[in-house]
Structure 1
Amino acid sequence: MGFKRFSLFIIIRTALAMVSLLVLSFFLTNTGYHAASIVMTLLLAAQLAELVSFVSKTNAELVRFFEAARHADYSQRFDLSRLGSGFDELGKAFGDILSRLQIARNQQEETLRHVKAVVEHVPVPLMSIQNDGQVTLWNNSARRLFGTHPVINIDDLSAFNSNFPKQLLAMAPGERSLINMVIDDMQHQLSIAATEIVIAGQKELLISLQDIQSELDAAQLEAWQDLVRVLTHEIMNSITPVASLANTAADLVDDVKAQVDEQLELKDSLSDVSDAVKTVARRSDSLMNFVTSYRQLTRLPEPNKTQVLLTELFDQVTRIACTNWPNKAIDITTNIEPKSLSVTLDRDMIEQVLINLLKNAEHAVQECNSAAISLTAYLNLRGHIVIDVSDNGVGISEEVAEKVFVPFFTTKREGSGVGLALTRQVMLAHGGHVSLHSIQGKGSKFSLTF
């Protein structure tokens, strides 16, 4: 209704100006109307000026409205009632349009904030790679994964794995892959998935990086436990009667030998039989003890965790494991930074783990002229507590290092292959992990990360 009135006012003003022009033409074409011509000329000029002013007011408000819309300035107000009839409806229309634009903008911003909040809290790290190699980390999980390391360009990822950038660039949309990375001395095995997205005509590769290290460790541990459980059950079922019969046969042979003291030839034969049977019995008993030791891998209790000062823990394990080291010319050093460092753990379990690692280190430095073993604890860059057991011994080859935590694997003649496998299981039960860094001929370092 207001716009109709506004148009009507334009028509009326234009019509009046035309009438005034016609009257002025009449006065100018006829003599004797000089005064009237001057008056009509002034009146026509006033009408035209008023018409231009009336239209200019509308144009100025239109310009202000479009500027406000272009710059998203929703604070502008259009109270045009003071400009005359018709402008009040125009001002209300402008205000209503800006209000609707503001509501739509607010809804878009709320949706964007919601999407950003969802992406930020997704537990899977997300990052994108532009065509120029620029990398964007989209959520907290991605930033936590790379920690304090700056990741701006795809080449920055080579610090964690030299093949990582090449592997990412070679991935096709929809493809999945696995990669191992070491970040702040912590091992990560990532399941990588790639998706191509197009924004404003620009393509970029969206990468999800799911750390499956703990799931793989748990699955592998469960598989080994199942295997050990089956093997020990079957072996024990088979060897137990053999051991029992062998011991019984040895006793029977001894009884018969006592009854045939005068028959030397028969007695010698029985002695041979006795030795053979006792050998079978002895090896059967050894095999039973060997199998029994593996049952520890399937019967590990839940850790009874308490807060433990590492200074007390180190004092206890060195007192037990390093008593005779001065006589063997083995130097032991301990260091804890900070001195008040403590950790929540099952003291008995971790004591046994550290004692086993110190015994392994002792074995590794047996042939060293200046044997040195260190026991250290500190906070890594991720805020995790790390305990290192290091030695300057013979070291471990890369091939052997990959197998040391596997049950049944050992490089020692008298070893059972249980110790390090049990160490790994204990650390997994504590929600941590154990790792080995070794250089053959220069020494080894076992790290317990809590």
Structure 2
Amino acid sequence: MVFKLFRTGLIFRILILALSIFGFTWLLLQTSYYISMFTLSCIIFIQVGMLIRYTERTNVAYSKFLDSIEYDDFSQTYTSRGLGQSFDNLNTQFNRVIQKFQEVRAEKEAQYHYLKTIVQHIDIGLLVLDDTGSVQLINSAAQKLLNINHLSHIKQLRDTHQPLVQLIAQENSISDKTREVVKLTMNEEIAHLIVRATNITLRSKQFKIVSLQDIQSELEEKEMEAWQNLIRVLTHEIINSVTPIASLSATVHEDLEYYKKEIEEHQQGTQEEKIRLPADYFTESLEDVHQAVRTIQRRSEGLIHFVRDFRNLTKIPLPDLQTLSVKELFESINTLLKEEMKQQGIRFSCQTYPKNLQLIADPHLLEQVLINLLKNATHAVEDKEDKQISLIASTDKVGKVVIKVYDNGTGIGEEAKKKVFIPLFTTKKNGSGIGLSLSRQVMRLHGGTINVNSTPQVETVFTLRFA
């Protein structure tokens, strides 16, 4: 007989088992039919086994459900097969859970393909390595940069890209906060790559994400732009000096040729014609020649001074880093400049937040930078009635030391702001255009930056930010 309801089938089997046990007990106590007792005991054991198997049908469903989760097999469906309302509800919940897993898997696969498409699409090369150096992921940009079609282990690059392999292999050599430039030679062409790395842990496994960015074209573009700016400034300064020198030299040459010809004509005449030329004949011309020669000398000295200033740009010493008290540094600068500030009617103030603020820098180079900025500020406020200059040191949100030089002078225009750090560019009449360029180089040697913000006729701020 087929029982469609699990509960009815279970009750029926229990009743049959109970009757069999009752019959076995009656035979055992009231009769001596040993063969019948043996037969009935076998029937009882069979019934117990069938009852256990029948009740374990729910365990089989649970086991299949858990197996499908363990092995990511969500293709199964669960039907009640007419076993009752409780089984219908259980199978419905199983199917809902399976459906949820299917949706999550589909979403993860879509997200994976989305991220994979992005990774393959970006121009920056990406490598993902495990702790053994095996390549877990490499995008097309990295393959193109490294000129490879397939890469399974970083060691495969030893023969062609040894510097890159050494850099990646070194512990703590690169991180997401630092960047290293690696020079590689591929197909007889030189490539400069910026390399960054980030270490992550997934499921107790260590992975390193390495990014590669080709900056060769940017370097060449910046180099060309720098050469153009430099040549523009050099040619401007040299032409301004050489043009008057050439013009005056030509004038002096013409005057001397004229008087030489006059003298030769007088020397070739007869004794009677050879008359002595009066001194005042040459006085005016000699004065012109003397003035021209002095001008040539002055412009030549100016050109030599210009070349020396330009040469100084390449002679900055490496910083001797020390731990400095910013307050003491400001007090030293104040002592040097307070008399000059007072004579020019400038209100000069130095402030440090906190008072015990310290930084690591070369005291002499940093003092040179600050004095240069303050000198520029004094020139900027010359035409102001209420002249104010401030020197303020503090820390930013991430704890880096920031020094700012404020003035309320004439300010710097938008076009000039783009050029103030270019060597030999100046907005002052007698400026050399060296100071701000030297200041930027000094800050770069300290691992910091220098920037300017200016509102003409209101305020100008030069900001030194240290690493």
| 1:423, distance to aligned residue in structure 2 (A) | 0.7
Gaps of 5+ in 1: 1-34, 74-111, 120-139, 146-190, 192-207, 254-259
Alignment of 1:40-59 (within 5 A): 46-56=44-54, 59=57
Match of 1:304 among 305, 312, 320: 320
1:449 is aligned to 465
1:261 and 1:371, CA in 2 relative to 1: closer, same or farther beyond 3 A?
farther
Amino acid of the structure 1 residue aligned with 2:398: R
Deviations 1:136-180 (A, max 9, x none): xxxx977x79xxxxxxxxxxxxxxxxxxxxxxxxxxxxxxxxxxx
Deviations 1:399-437 (A, max 9, x none): 211111011211111111111111111111111110111
1:270 is aligned to 286
> What is the distance in 1 between the residues matched to 2:277 and 2:405?
60
C-alpha RMSD of the superposition = 4.9
1:283 is aligned to 299
1:360 is aligned to 376
Q: Contact 2:230–2:423 (CA<8 Å) still a contact in 1?
A: no
Amino acid of the structure 1 residue aligned with 2:387: A
Q: Contact 1:221–1:425 (CA<8 Å) still a contact in 2?
A: no
1:374 and 1:357, CA in 2 relative to 1: closer, same or farther beyond 3 A?
same
| 1:313, distance to aligned residue in structure 2 (A) | 1.0
2:453 is aligned to 437
Deviations 1:271-320 (A, max 9, x none): 11111111101110111112111111111121122221111111111222
Gaps of 5+ in 2: 1-32, 72-127, 136-173, 179-193, 195-210, 257-275
| 1:339, distance to aligned residue in structure 2 (A) | 1.2
Q: Contact 1:432–1:448 (CA<8 Å) still a contact in 2?
A: yes
> What is the distance in 1 between the residues matched to 2:286 and 2:439?
47
Match of 2:330 among 305, 314, 324: 314
- What fraction of aligned residue pairs are identical, expressed as a percent? 38
| 1:38, distance to aligned residue in structure 2 (A) | 9.1
1:269 and 1:424, CA in 2 relative to 1: closer, same or farther beyond 3 A?
same
Q: Contact 1:374–1:391 (CA<8 Å) still a contact in 2?
A: yes
* 2:424 pairs with 1:408: yes
2:385 is aligned to 369
1:284 and 1:414, CA in 2 relative to 1: closer, same or farther beyond 3 A?
same
1:339 is aligned to 355
Deviations 1:84-143 (A, max 9, x none): xxxxxxxxxxxxxxxxxxxxxxxxxxxx9959x999xxxxxxxxxxxxxxxxxxxx977x
| 1:226, distance to aligned residue in structure 2 (A) | 12
Q: Contact 1:225–1:298 (CA<8 Å) still a contact in 2?
A: no
Q: Secondary structure at the match of 2:298?
A: helix
1:377 and 1:368, CA in 2 relative to 1: closer, same or farther beyond 3 A?
same
Alignment of 1:158-237 (within 5 A): none
| 1:222, distance to aligned residue in structure 2 (A) | 12
> What is the distance in 2 between the residues matched to 1:49 and 1:70?
32
| 1:231, distance to aligned residue in structure 2 (A) | 6.1
1:421 and 1:345, CA in 2 relative to 1: closer, same or farther beyond 3 A?
same
Deviations 1:184-214 (A, max 9, x none): xxxxxxx9xxxxxxxxxxxxxxxx89798xx
| 1:374, distance to aligned residue in structure 2 (A) | 0.9
1:269 and 1:299, CA in 2 relative to 1: closer, same or farther beyond 3 A?
same
> What is the distance in 2 between the residues matched to 1:368 and 1:209?
52
| 1:383, distance to aligned residue in structure 2 (A) | 2.0
> What is the distance in 1 between the residues matched to 2:291 and 2:440?
41
1:341 and 1:275, CA in 2 relative to 1: closer, same or farther beyond 3 A?
same
1:399 is aligned to 415
1:409 and 1:445, CA in 2 relative to 1: closer, same or farther beyond 3 A?
same
Match of 1:382 among 398, 410, 423: 398
Q: Secondary structure at the match of 1:323?
A: helix
| Runs of at least 4 residues off by over 4 Å | 35-45, 56-73, 112-115, 208-212, 219-228
> What is the distance in 2 between the residues matched to 1:323 and 1:224?
41
| 1:350, distance to aligned residue in structure 2 (A) | 1.1
| 1:342, distance to aligned residue in structure 2 (A) | 1.5
Alignment of 1:108-187 (within 5 A): none
Q: Contact 1:396–1:439 (CA<8 Å) still a contact in 2?
A: yes
> What is the distance in 2 between the residues matched to 1:336 and 1:118?
52
Amino acid of the structure 1 residue aligned with 2:345: A
Deviations 1:332-369 (A, max 9, x none): 11111111111121111111110110011111112222
> What is the distance in 2 between the residues matched to 1:294 and 1:263?
46
Q: How many residues align?
A: 280
1:420 and 1:282, CA in 2 relative to 1: closer, same or farther beyond 3 A?
same
Q: Contact 1:396–1:443 (CA<8 Å) still a contact in 2?
A: no
> What is the distance in 1 between the residues matched to 2:442 and 2:310?
14
> What is the distance in 2 between the residues matched to 1:396 and 1:283?
29
> What is the distance in 1 between the residues matched to 2:399 and 2:214?
18
Deviations 1:46-70 (A, max 9, x none): 2442231452586566456446546
> What is the distance in 1 between the residues matched to 2:280 and 2:59?
132
Q: Contact 1:333–1:373 (CA<8 Å) still a contact in 2?
A: yes
Q: Secondary structure at the match of 1:344?
A: strand
> What is the distance in 2 between the residues matched to 1:266 and 1:428?
59
